Amino acid sequence: MLVNSIQSFSPPRRILMGPGPSDVHPRVLAAMARPTVGHLDPSFVAMMDELKALLQYAFQTANPLTLPVSGPGSAGMETCFANLVEPGDKVVVCVNGVFGGRMKENVERCGGIAIVVEDAWGTPVDTAKVAAALAANPGVKAVAFVHAETSTGVESDAAALCALAREHGAYSIVDVVTSLGGVPVRVDAWGADAVYGGSQKCLSCTPGLAPVTFSPRAAAAVAARKTKVQSWFLDLNLVMGYWGGAAKRAYHHTAPINALYALHESLLMLREEGLEAAWERHARHHRALVAGLEAMGLGMLVAPAHRLPQLNAVRVPDGVDEAAVRNRLLERYGIELGAGLGALAGKVWRIGLMGQSCSATNLTLCLSALETVLAEMTAPIREGAALPAAAAELYGR
């Protein structure tokens, strides 16, 4: 590629209704564009304290070890595993989708032994199976599970799984990347030990940061490790010299200043709305989305009791080219839906109602556009589908 032909990049305006990133509010984008200051600037250090308090609110925790990791959700995941798991440690890993599988990879790459408890994709983690695995394997160091599986849209019972881990003297490692801000995440009430989220889902910040929180007993375990954390970059014993709140912050790495401005603003918007109100908003629009989808004759992957409001896996009807539908939605309406991952590739769409994307406006547009496109692609156009027929006329097939 000739670099001389490259010009400034102007992204198209999209409506982000996939598995994340979600729509970012102009307030957050404006915050991100404020002038960069140094990572040891007194004004910035004061902002870091606020950011920590806002994260504690979002996680519903008083854990002092609460901070945004300077990387995406995967770096947050690795922070939890690399800090808590030492070579030879046994970890029960619950796998019911893509991200549980990634946890297993993390355990093994830390030199740990993964004891996998599998459940079918689209179903929650089976607490009884986890209990059996713990009973059969004495000395398990941690139980790891995904609260909200982004690949399927399933919620698992975090409170029960954390309690089970504690009963067996194990730490819990919990992925709340997709749940944080969208459904109740109650780190202290659950007694969760190492928890990581992502900035770009229900917090509606730009992607690239991973909030994490460690319980005091998990933090003590990290401080008392026999071996060094295998990642220098993610070693919380070092990171806390900067984020720990000491009067003098020690340089570890240069914080992603402007990204942190954005996270501060997005968390502030969550606090202004209130967590309970945000959870209620996600639940309400989810009910409307499902009603609309079912009225179109579409089915959901997940049973009602286990559905995440913010991530809706919708079965692709037989004979429909799922990618062609997504492409037309993107090209004509600017709407991004998610494809299925892994075993669900080609079989589901993933419709995100996350954070700012979870609004009556987005929902109504999405349903209407999807109905139109599906009608166009399945000849003949169904009787009585006035809007799709008219729209198809207008746009041409």
Minimum CB–partner distance for residue 17 and its own copies (Å): 10
Q: List Cα–Cα distances, 69 to 65, 163, 370, in angstroms.
A: 11, 26, 37
We find the least distance from the C-beta atom of residue 136 to its own copies, in angstroms, to be: 27
Residue 361 CB, shortest distance to its own copies, in Å, is 16
Q: DSSP character for 118?
A: E
Q: Given the complex with its own copies, which of 256 and 292 has the nearer CB atom?
A: 256
Q: Report d(CA 194, CA 214) in Å as an integer.
A: 5
Min dist CB 62 to its own copies, Å, is 11
| Cβ atoms 54, 213 nearer than 8 A | no
Instruction: Output 89 or 124, the one with its CB closest to its own copies.
Output: 89
Closer Cβ to its own copies, 146 or 162, answer by number: 146
Comparison of 185 and 375: residue with beta carbon closer to its own copies:
185
Residues 262 and 348: their CA atoms lie apart, in Å, by 32
Chain centroid, CA 67 distance in Å? 16
Facing residues of 175 across strands? 146, 196
Pairwise CA distance, residues 29 & 255, whole Å: 18
Least distance (Å) from its own copies to the CB of residue 241? 13
Closest listed residue to residue 305, CA positions, set 187, 104, 156: 156
Give the number of other CB atoms < 10 A from CB of residue 33: 10
Q: β-strand 148-149 against 154-155: which pairing, if any? A: antiparallel
End-to-end CA distance of the chain: 35
Nearer to its own copies, 42 or 396 (CB): 42
For the four alpha carbons of 385, 386, 387 and 388, in that order, the dihedral sign comes to: positive
At its nearest, how many Å lie between its own copies and the CB of residue 31? 7
Residue closer to its own copies (CB basis): 140 or 263: 263
